[in-house]
Each structure stands twice: as structure tokens, then as C-alpha cells.
Amino acid sequence: MSIIKNNKMKKIIIIGFIIITNLSCNAQQIIPIEKIIDYRRTETGLPEGLIYLKDVNNLLDKYVGIWKGTYDTKKYEFRITKFTETRERVKEDILLIRYIITEANGTEIENTTMLPDNNYLVVRGDYIDRSSYLLTYIGKKGNCGQSGTIFISTSIKSNYNQMLLSLEPEQMLISAKDCPNGGAAQIIPKSQITLTKQ
């Protein structure tokens, strides 16, 4: 009787050990999104294994909503949502920006508000650098330089009701054949635009 009990105990211990080992192998490492910039600077990427780049400290929530502003007679509306992107071994909390740009007379220049999350025209978040959040922007003429990094920031000073947004165009080697007129004009302003939360 005691031999049978001992064998049972052994089996339970072994199975328990296997479960714990499996759990630890598949364990997901959580890294706060504000640390992404540190890994980016090392130029060697994130640590091995499963990673969740998580908005542990809710740094992105203050941006979520609809922001409106005017620049150079054009009207801008940015719709910001929070999204968890899943890649091969990395999950990441990011912001997505969709936008409507209209001329003063109401003519629509661009409207990406109806596009699905994975469409290339939807602006995707990258990382936080100090109080700025940086996102990758690509326009319809993205092969001719209509692309770059969008910076957004908002502060307690405005009670998070005002946001600054600007574009730093991408430096790229464009094909003279595909872009006979050189780099395409930007539709997102390079100069800073002040937006108000709706």
C-alpha cells in the first residue's frame, strides 16, 4: 500500500515539475513601454523570449480621443485609439491615429477614419522619448517621401486638453523614375500644430 502511495506521490511531483517548467518557459516578460527607447538605443533589440511592451503606467491614455485644430487654412481632425499589436513574439500597447484633413472650403484632402487597424495609412505608435510619443506615419505618396515620424505631446499645463503635433519627414532614397517630380509634398504639417481635445 505504501509503495503505491509513494509511486503516486512521485508521479504528482513529476507532473507538477513539468507544469512549472512549461509555465516558466512560456513566461511572458513585461516591459513598460517607456523603456522601449533604451532597447532601441542599444541597436540589438529586445531581450529573448516572449515580451509584452505594456502601458503599465497608463502613459498613453491621455491621448485617446478626438483632437481638432487648424493650420495654414486647413482643418485637421485626429482620432486616437489605444491598441495592442501582436507580433511574432512581442505584444505592444500602441496608439493608432486616423485623421481627416479638409480645405477651408470643406473639400476633403484625406480621410483615413474608415480604414482597418492594419492599413498602412493608419499611423502606428513607436516609443516614448521624454514627454513625446513618436509614431510612424506613411502617406499615400509614401514611396516618394510622404512619410516620417509624427511627434505628439500633451501636458498637465493644459490639463491634457491641448496637444502638440508635428511631422519630421523621413529621409529616404527615392526612385527618380517613380517620383519624377522629386519628393512629394507633405499633407501633415512639419511645423507644430496645436490641437484641442473634443
Partner 1 sequence: MTAYTIHKKHYSRILLLKIDNEIQSVVFSMYSNNNARNEHFNGEILITDLNGVFLNGYRITNGNVISQFMKGNFKSPSSLNKSFSNNCEIHSDDDSNCILNIQSLNEIVIPPKSGGITYLTLADLYGDHGGGSSSTCEVNCNSWNYGGAGDYSPVETDPCDEIKSQTTNPDYKAKIEILKGKTGLKMETGFSEKADGTFSELQNGSGGTNSNSMSFTIDSNTVGYMHTHVDPYESGRYNSDGEPELLAPIKMFSPADVGRFLELLVNAQTNNISIAEVYGTMISSSGTYNLRFDGNITDVRTDFNWKELKSSYVKAIEDYGLEKGFLKFIKENVGVNGISLYKIKTNGAIENKTLDLNSKLTTIPCQ
Radius of gyration of the chain (CA): 23
Interface region with partner 1, contact rule CB under 8 A, candidates 9-17, 21-29, 97-105, 133-141: 133-141
Give the helix/strand (H/E) hosting 80: strand 74-86
Which of 16/45 has CB closer to partner 1?
45
Which of 3/173 has CB closer to partner 1?
173
Contacts of 12 (CB under 8 A, 6+ apart): none
Do the Cβ atoms of 104 and 70 come closer than 8 Å?
no
Q: How far is the CB of 73 from partner 1 (least distance, A)?
A: 15
Q: How far apart are CA 134 and CA 150, in angstroms?
A: 6
Q: How far apart are CA 189 and CA 174, in angstroms?
A: 21
Regarding 112 and contact with partner 1 (CB under 8 A), the answer is: no
Regarding 170 and contact with partner 1 (CB under 8 A), the answer is: yes
Cell of 83: 491598441
Q: How far apart are CA 51 and CA 91, in angstroms?
A: 6
Which of left, alpha, beta for 145 (phi over 0: left; psi -120 to 50: alpha)? Answer: left
Q: How far is the CB of 193 from partner 1 (least distance, A)?
A: 11
Segment 36 to 75, residues that bind partner 1, using CB under 8 A: 36, 39-46, 51
Regarding 99 and contact with partner 1 (CB under 8 A), the answer is: no
Regarding 88 and contact with partner 1 (CB under 8 A), the answer is: yes
Q: How far apart are CA 29 and CA 44, in angstroms?
A: 17
Determine the size of the site formed for partner 1 (CB under 8 A). 65
Judged by CB under 8 A, the residue of 109, 182, 196, 198 near partner 1 is 182
Residues that bind partner 1 (CB under 8 A): 36, 39-46, 51, 85, 87-90, 92, 120, 124, 126-127, 129-132, 136, 138-139, 142-145, 147-149, 151, 153-155, 157-158, 162-164, 166-177, 179, 181-186, 190-192
